[in-house]
Amino acid sequence: MPQIKLEESILTMYSFWGIIGWTVSYVYIICHIQEKQLKRKVYKILVIAIMIAIVGARILWVIVNMGVEKRAPVLKDFVNGGLVFYGGMLPVIVLIWLIFPLSDMMKYLDIFIIAIPLFHGFARIGCFFAGCCFGKKYFPIQLLESFFCFIIFIILNYKKNDLRYKGKMTIFYLALYAVIRFFLEFLRGDEVRGIWFGLSTSQYISSIILVIVFINIMMSG
């Protein structure tokens, strides 16, 4: 669908579905944590996470636009600019890794990682209604990515008790999403995200992630 530039529409629909995604993710995490002390911290952790995600996603959007439009950023870019998912997702994963001490990391890290595609699936529905992140020739790429995010969530949730994947959900998630995102990018129609040598910014990031995942598998295997 064509991009809707009305900021009011983006604020209402995108924020609405983002809040739903945040709430569902919060409930999922709470339901899978037994330690009462940590349960009380989940709300604060997710509030900080969403703030970091928004700032990171906005900064990457500004950087991409600087490259595409060949200009210096202005204050309006940071206030009214768009969001690039990878710019928000990667800092949040780093935050989650830093929050938990080594003794608890394997126990709780996977739960928080699994909640990321759950939130993302709802957020992409918001993109569809807001008219951003649109596909070529009116293709509802946002809903397709939302569908795949929920599939990733289902797979991760199913595998969370598998001892082979304990503590490895981050790598598993990054690999799954990077592959899906790389191919979905060919259906995207908003080239303002950055197209260099036929590939978008997110495709380059996906490629780097897959290389890192491959190296990690080789070193641990």
Number of domains in the chain: 1
Enclosing domain of residue 52: 7-220
| Residue 20 belongs to some domain of the structure | yes
Averaged pLDDT, 168-183: 92
pTM: 0.83
| Residue 63 belongs to some domain of the structure | yes
| Residue 1 belongs to some domain of the structure | no
Distance CA 21, CA 115 (A): 9
| Residue 37 belongs to some domain of the structure | yes
| Residue 2 belongs to some domain of the structure | no
The predicted-structure confidence for 70-123, as pLDDT tens digits, reads as follows 666 666 667 676 778 888 888 888 888 787 665 566 667 888 899 999 999 999
Q: What per-residue confidence (pLDDT) applies to 156? A: 94
Does position 59 have pLDDT exceeding 80, yes or no? yes
* DSSP assignment letter at 164: G
| Residue 183 belongs to some domain of the structure | yes
List, in sequence order, the alpha helices (H) in 34-140: 36-69, 75-80, 85-99, 102-130
